[in-house]
């Protein structure tokens, strides 16, 4: 096969590089990760692969291991072995569940995160703010999608409420996920070579919208559903979908439970920080202190009580994560010789 064809195929699944690897290595994208290994896609075929030994070394920062979305150089064979992870253009991460702090890479090289919420009972601005806070430092751009426009009578009010709450630069679209007209609305985020992930709670309409974007008819939809119940196998099939618009959609189970990492600035709430600067006391607790600018804004409606509560919640969660992270770094510094093999590690994590 010609080099041009290989490059063209890789570009369709989001590769932005110029030249293919030499020395017998080949290039592919990680589309799924299982306990038993990785699934790679080269733009044409899906196949299993194992990480080379150096990725399994103890003490290696988990963030350096191959992750969903990565472009990797692999050595063909049975099985193929991943040798190298190419530089990532964006990294989505979250705090791993559990008592021990761990920052986990969920997906890389994602251009757009489509945050989907139903305009019906699922509508929840606080959840949208949580997603946006997580995406904040990833390099990926968030797009807020409000589904079930056709089912909701007060859609316009909800859209206006959210528009007033989110920063103006975050694109927002109210859609009917079943209507093929949505494809045109979303096409600018799904252009050839772009990668998107679709996140949102159960029932928000992720499968429905995915099928619409794929142009799958109803029969095929139920076939996809039947597959879904079989779990792991489905992830394989649906892990990287090449859409007719030219972009690709990455479906990773990692996006389902999202915890802050402790590194977020909560930029979304910068106005609240500015407000707090105006309080009479520098250490104002924003409770019953006189001259509290936050209370004043809550009283006169400039700041909504719900948004304030969500800010406090996300801030507490971030502080907890940051404290756990700090404690872990201290343990690492204390417990290891200075001349340790991965000396760059602590440095990176402090960034």
Ligand X SMILES: Nc1nc2c(ncn2[C@@H]2O[C@H](COP(=O)(O)OP(=O)(O)OP(=O)(O)O)[C@@H](O)[C@H]2O)c(=O)[nH]1
**Binding site per annotation, positions:** 147-150, 200-208, 279, 284, 286, 292
Least CB distance to ligand X at residue 316 (A): 28
List C-alpha distances in Å: 36 to 148, 187, 310.
Answer: 38, 35, 39
Among ligand X, Zn ion, none, partner that 292 touches (CB below 5 to 8 angstroms by kind): Zn ion
x/- track of binding to ligand X for residues 265-304 (CB under 6 A): ----------------------------------------
CB-based closest residue to ligand X = 205
Q: Compute the half-sphere exposure of residue 215: CA atoms within 13 Å on the CB side of its CA.
A: 7
Which stretch, 104-112, 245-253, 286-294, 310-318, contacts Zn ion (CB under 5 A)?
A: 286-294
Least CB distance to ligand X at residue 46 (A): 22
Give the integer Cα–Cα distance in Å for 134 and 117.
16
Q: Which residue number, 117 or 261, has a Cβ lying nearer to ligand X?
A: 117
Q: Please, what is the angle between helix 125-135 and helix 305-335, to 10°?
A: 30
- Alpha-carbon torsion (140, 138, 146, 170), positive or negative: negative
127 Cβ neighbours under 8 A, 6+ residues apart = 117, 201
Out of 8, 44, 150, 319, point to the residue binding ligand X (CB under 6 A): 150
Out of 49, 82, 213, 294, point to the residue binding Zn ion (CB under 5 A): 294
Q: Which residue number, 130 or 148, has a Cβ lying nearer to ligand X?
A: 148
Out of 11, 178, 336, 342, point to the residue binding ligand X (CB under 6 A): 178
User: How many chain residues touch ligand X (CB under 6 A)?
Assistant: 15
54 Cβ neighbours under 8 A, 6+ residues apart = 60
Q: Which residue number, 224 or 298, has a Cβ lying nearer to ligand X?
A: 224
Out of 115, 174, 272, 284, point to the residue binding Zn ion (CB under 5 A): 284
Which stretch, 39-47, 79-87, 190-198, 290-298, contacts Zn ion (CB under 5 A)?
A: 290-298
Where is the binding site for Zn(2+), in residues? Answer: 279, 284, 286, 292
275 is a site residue for Zn ion (CB under 5 A): no
Torsion of CA 37, 230, 146, 300, to 10 degrees: -80
Give the integer Cα–Cα distance in Å for 62 and 57.
10
Q: Give strand pairing partners of 345.
A: none
| Beta carbons of 110 and 195 less than 8 angstroms apart | yes
In the chain, DSSP finds a helix count (H) and a strand count (E) of 11, 13
207 is a site residue for ligand X (CB under 6 A): yes
Q: Which residue number, 9 or 206, has a Cβ lying nearer to ligand X?
A: 206
| Beta carbons of 55 and 103 less than 8 angstroms apart | no
- Contacts to ligand X by CB under 6 A: 147-148, 150-151, 176-178, 200, 202-208
């Amino acid at each position: 096969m010609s080099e041009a064809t290989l490059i063209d195929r890789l570009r369709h699944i989001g590769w932005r590089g110029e030249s293919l690897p030499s020395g017998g290595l080949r290039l592919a994208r990680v589309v799924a990760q299982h306990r038993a290994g990785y699934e790679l896609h080269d733009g044409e075929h899906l196949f299993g692969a194992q990480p080379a030994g150096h990725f399994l070394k103890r003490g290696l920062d988990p963030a350096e291991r191959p992750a969903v979305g990565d472009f990797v150089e692999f050595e063909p064979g049975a099985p193929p072995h991943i040798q190298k992870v190419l530089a990532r253009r964006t990294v989505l991460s979250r705090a791993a569940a559990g008592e021990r702090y761990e920052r986990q890479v969920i997906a890389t090289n994602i251009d757009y995160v489509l945050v989907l919420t139903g305009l019906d009972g699922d509508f929840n601005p606080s959840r949208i703010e949580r997603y946006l806070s997580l995406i904040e430092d990833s390099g990926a751009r968030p797009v807020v999608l409000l589904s079930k426009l056709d089912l909701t009578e007060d859609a316009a009010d909800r859209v206006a409420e959210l528009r007033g709450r989110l920063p103006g630069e975050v694109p927002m679209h109210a859609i009917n996920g079943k209507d093929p007209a949505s494809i045109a609305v979303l096409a600018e985020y799904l252009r050839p070579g772009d990668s998107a992930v679709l996140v949102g709670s159960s029932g928000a309409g992720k499968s429905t919208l995915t099928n619409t974007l794929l142009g799958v008819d109803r029969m095929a939809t139920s076939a996809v559903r039947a597959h879904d119940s079989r779990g792991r196998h489905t992830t394989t099939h649906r892990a990287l979908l090449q859409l007719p618009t030219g972009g690709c959609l990455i479906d990773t189970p990692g996006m389902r439970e999202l915890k802050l990492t402790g590194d977020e600035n909560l930029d979304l709430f910068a106005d609240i920080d500015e407000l707090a600067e105006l309080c009479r006391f520098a250490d104002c607790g924003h409770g019953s202190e006189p001259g509290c600018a936050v209370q004043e804004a809550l009283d006169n409606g400039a700041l909504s009580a719900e948004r304030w509560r969500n800010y406090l919640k996300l801030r507490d969660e971030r502080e907890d994560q940051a404290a756990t992270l700090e404690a872990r770094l201290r343990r690492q510094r204390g417990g290891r010789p200075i001349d340790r093999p991965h000396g760059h590690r602590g440095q990176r994590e402090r960034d």
